[in-house]
Amino acid sequence: MAIDSTLPNFRSLSPQERLAHICKAVGLDDAQYSQLAKPGALPLETANGMIENVIGTFELPMAVAGYFQINGKDVIVPMAVEEPSIVAAASFMAKLARVSGGFQTSSTGPLMRAQVQVVGVSDPYGARLAILKHKDELIALANSRDKVLIGLGGGCRDIEVHVFPDTPRGPMIVAHLIVDVRDAMGANTVNTMAESIAGRVEQITGAKVRLRILSNLADLRLARASVRYTADTLATKEYSGEEVIDGVIDAYLFAAIDPYRAATHNKGIMNGIDPVIVATGNDWRAVEAGAHAYATRSGHYTSLTTWEKAQNGDLVGTIEMPMPVGLVGGATKTHPLARLALKIMDVKSAQELGEIAVAVGLAQNMGALRALATEGIQRGHMTLHARNIALGAGATGSDVDWVVKKMISSADFRTDFALEVLQRPRDA
């Protein structure tokens, strides 16, 4: 079914009304509606089977970002996150992007690396060639451990060998198994393959294998997105579109040259990506690790995005980064809401999910840069954060909206001020 990702006046609806709209838009049934409508969607017995020492479950707000159009397809994006303004900023930037066709995405194949560390080798370059001589044998051995993956068209594709001739413990070599993991994240698969060849690598090299583990720097599994904004769509009451574009580019260049700024800049990108990863039951820590490692690939920690001015004056943004996500295995399969999140997005492959995630990251980055380059980050963020402050001050029921209104009108978002407002008569 064709999905309409535009969500006009969505913020003014109640949570129940929003859920009813989404269920109708993406075709969720009554049972799926109930899972989303009620707390405790993750049964305790299921949680107990997922990790150790379970004593309960922990819930995050689950929202949807609207207006996303990716490769011509409308996508409603579930996001699980606790921080205000993230969903609003991503949705607004997606809405503005629709004027120029939304987001264009692409990705590489789902290739992951497994590393096999070899120590105690006196002739590392000779050992490297010995391993490569037996490459076909080692690939076949690795593939013998996962017939299901082979049947799906995946499997170990290649072996690289990296030489570290001078370490404090002597020469070291590291063999990389390059594995097509299809629609899995792939950690368990590649770890099993790495362990399966360890003994044979020791026989070939006459040395000792130590670690056999995946790398979270998934630099062969990249997702990319690009977006274009016209000056007209970026204009505000206080700033022309051209001024906004120049401000965004200056802000991006700050992150490109300064690692102190790049760390916060990239955190803003991950503000968009991580909630998608969490909502779909994927490993957000692996995605974070790969993202920040990839940001240092030039030897200098820098921005994961680029922003530049096209010949016609439009603002063009791009992102490319590792995206090791899956649709099968782990919490993606065991958590009921993770499965619903995937259904809401109507994703058909892990690559498509990765492309959606980086598009959201690019939109989130644009939202932050636009705010920083114009009114400052606090004005919009604190307005949305006001409800959290009111709740933290003890406001309940209709008092929440009243306290929020007073904080916004006074531009005072301190907890002390919220407490003071709660002590006043309602007409004060």
21, 83, 288, 412: the catalytic one is 83
73, 267, 309, 385: the catalytic one is 267
For residue 384, which of 67, 19, 89 has the smallest C-alpha distance?
89
- Is 277 within 8 Å of 80 (Cβ atoms)? no
232-254 burial code (b ≥16 CB/10 A, e <16): ebbeeeebebebbbebbbebbeb
134, 265, 381, 406: the catalytic one is 381
- Which tokens hold the place of 296? 């240092």
- Is 329 within 8 Å of 281 (Cβ atoms)? no
Using H for helix, E for strand and C for coil, what is the string for the chain?
Answer: CCCCCCCCCHHHCCHHHHHHHHHHHHCCCHHHHHHHHCCCCCCHHHHHHHCCCCCCCCCCCEEEEEEEEECCEEEEEEEECCCCCHHHHHHHHHHHHHHHCCEEEEECCCEEEEEEEEECCCCHHHHHHHHHHCHHHHHHHHHCCCHHHHHCCCEEEEEEEEEECCCCCCCEEEEEEEEECCCECCHHHHHHHHHHHHHHHHHHHCCEEEEEEECCCCCCCEEEEEEEECHHHHCCCCCCHHHHHHHHHHHHHHHHHCHHHHHHHHHHHHHHHHHHHHHCCCCHHHHHHHHHHHCCCCCCCCCCEEEEECCCCCEEEEEEEECCCCCECCHHHHCHHHHHHHHHHCCCCHHHHHHHHHHHHHHHHHHHHHHHHCCCHHHHHHHHHHHHHHHHCCCCCHHHHHHHHHHHHHCCCCHHHHHHHHHCCCCC
For residue 58, which of 387, 337, 272 has the smallest C-alpha distance?
337
Q: In what order do the strands lie in the sheet with 208-214?
A: 155-164, 172-180, 111-119, 208-214
Question: 381 catalytic, yes or no?
Answer: yes
146, 283, 320, 352: the catalytic one is 283
Question: 83 catalytic, yes or no?
Answer: yes
Active site residues: 83, 267, 283, 381
